[in-house]
A and B are shown apart, each in its own frame.
Chain A
Amino acid sequence: MAGSERRDYDLAVIGGGLVGSAIAWGAARRGQRVAVLDEGDLAYRASRGNFALVWVQSKGLGMPEYAAWTKRSSDAWGGFADELRAATGYDVAFERPGGFHLCLSETELETRAAVLRRLHNQPHMVQYPYEILDHDALAKRLPEIGPAVMGASYCPLDGHCNSLRLLKALHAGMKSEGAAYLANRSVEYLERRAGEFSITSASGELRAGKVLLAAGNGNARLAAMVGLKAPVRPQRGQIIVTEKVRRFLDYPIATLRQTDEGSVLIGDSVEEAGFDDTVGLGVLSTMAARAVRMFPRLAALNVVRTWAALRVMTKDGFPIYDRSESAPGAFVATCHSGVTLAAGHALFLAPMLAAGALAPELAVFSARRFDVSQAA
Chain B
Amino acid sequence: MFRRLHEADGKAVRLTVDGRPVAAREGDSVAAALLAAGIVVCRTTPVSGAARAPYCMMGACFECLVTIDGRGNRQACLVRAEPGMAVATQVGKRELGR
Grouping DSSP codes into helix (H, G, I), strand (E, B) and loop, the B interface class, with mixed when no group exceeds half, is: loop
Q: In the bound complex, do residue A297 and residue B96 qualify as a contact, i.e. CB atoms below 8 Å apart?
A: yes
Some 11 contacts from A to B, beta carbons below 8 A apart, are: A243-B94, A244-B47, A244-B93, A245-B93, A245-B96, A246-B93, A248-B96, A261-B46, A262-B47, A298-B96, A300-B96
Determine the chain A residues whose CB is within 8 A of the CB of B47 once the complex forms.
Answer: 244, 261-262
Quick one: given A245-B93, A245-B94, A298-B96, are A262 and B71 in contact (CB under 8 Å)? no
Cβ-based interface call for A302 (8 A): yes
Determine the chain B residues whose CB is within 8 A of the CB of A243 once the complex forms.
Answer: 73, 94
Quick one: given A244-B46, A262-B46, are A144 and B96 in contact (CB under 8 Å)? yes
CB distance from A58 to the nearest CB of B (A): 28
* Besides A243-B94, A244-B47, A302-B73, 15 new A-B residue pairs in contact (Cβ under 8 A), listed by A number: A144-B96, A243-B73, A244-B93, A245-B93, A245-B94, A245-B95, A245-B96, A246-B94, A248-B95, A248-B96, A261-B47, A297-B96, A297-B97, A298-B96, A300-B97
Complex Cα–Cα for A245 and B73 (A): 10
Determine the chain A residues whose CB is within 8 A of the CB of B96 once the complex forms.
Answer: 144, 245-246, 248, 297-298, 300-301
CB distance from B63 to the nearest CB of A (A): 13
Q: In the bound complex, do residue A262 and residue B97 qualify as a contact, i.e. CB atoms below 8 Å apart?
A: no
Listed in ascending order, the chain B residues whose CB lies under 8 Å from chain A are: 46-47, 71, 73, 92-97
Number of interface residues of A (CB under 8 A): 13
CB distance from A63 to the nearest CB of B (A): 39
Complex Cα–Cα for A247 and B5 (A): 43
Complex Cα–Cα for A144 and B97 (A): 11
Determine the chain A residues whose CB is within 8 A of the CB of B73 once the complex forms.
Answer: 243, 302
Complex Cα–Cα for A243 and B46 (A): 10
Determine the chain A residues whose CB is within 8 A of the CB of B71 once the complex forms.
Answer: 300
Write the chain B residue with the least CB distance to A298. B96
CB distance from A239 to the nearest CB of B (A): 19
Write the chain A residue with the least CB distance to B74. A302
Determine the chain B residues whose CB is within 8 A of the CB of A297 once the complex forms.
Answer: 96-97
Determine the chain B residues whose CB is within 8 A of the CB of A262 once the complex forms.
Answer: 46-47, 93
Determine the chain B residues whose CB is within 8 A of the CB of A248 once the complex forms.
Answer: 95-96
Determine the chain B residues whose CB is within 8 A of the CB of A261 once the complex forms.
Answer: 46-47
CB distance from B93 to the nearest CB of A (A): 5
Write the chain A residue with the least CB distance to B46. A244
Determine the chain A residues whose CB is within 8 A of the CB of B93 once the complex forms.
Answer: 244-246, 262
Complex Cα–Cα for A92 and B41 (A): 31
Listed in ascending order, the chain A residues whose CB lies under 8 Å from chain B are: 144, 243-246, 248, 261-262, 297-298, 300-302
Complex Cα–Cα for A298 and B47 (A): 20
CB distance from B50 to the nearest CB of A (A): 14
Quick one: given A261-B47, A262-B46, A300-B71, are A246 and B97 in contact (CB under 8 Å)? no
CB distance from A346 to the nearest CB of B (A): 27
Write the chain A residue with the least CB distance to B71. A300
CB distance from B58 to the nearest CB of A (A): 18
Write the chain A residue with the least CB distance to B73. A243
Determine the chain A residues whose CB is within 8 A of the CB of B95 once the complex forms.
Answer: 245-246, 248
Complex Cα–Cα for A244 and B49 (A): 13
Determine the chain B residues whose CB is within 8 A of the CB of A144 once the complex forms.
Answer: 96
Write the chain B residue with the least CB distance to A301. B96
Kindly list the 4 A-B residue pairs having the minimum CB-CB distance in the complex, ordered from nearest.
A244-B46, A248-B96, A246-B93, A297-B97
Complex Cα–Cα for A246 and B93 (A): 5
CB distance from B86 to the nearest CB of A (A): 17
CB distance from A317 to the nearest CB of B (A): 34
Determine the chain A residues whose CB is within 8 A of the CB of B46 once the complex forms.
Answer: 244, 261-262
CB distance from A172 to the nearest CB of B (A): 20
Complex Cα–Cα for A244 and B96 (A): 9
Complex Cα–Cα for A144 and B95 (A): 13
Complex Cα–Cα for A261 and B47 (A): 6
Write the chain A residue with the least CB distance to B92. A246
CB distance from A28 to the nearest CB of B (A): 31
Write the chain A residue with the least CB distance to B95. A246
Complex Cα–Cα for A248 and B98 (A): 12
Determine the chain A residues whose CB is within 8 A of the CB of B92 once the complex forms.
Answer: 246
CB distance from A323 to the nearest CB of B (A): 44
**A243, A245, A248, A300, most chain B CB atoms within 10 A:** A245
CB distance from B22 to the nearest CB of A (A): 25
Determine the chain B residues whose CB is within 8 A of the CB of A300 once the complex forms.
Answer: 71, 96-97
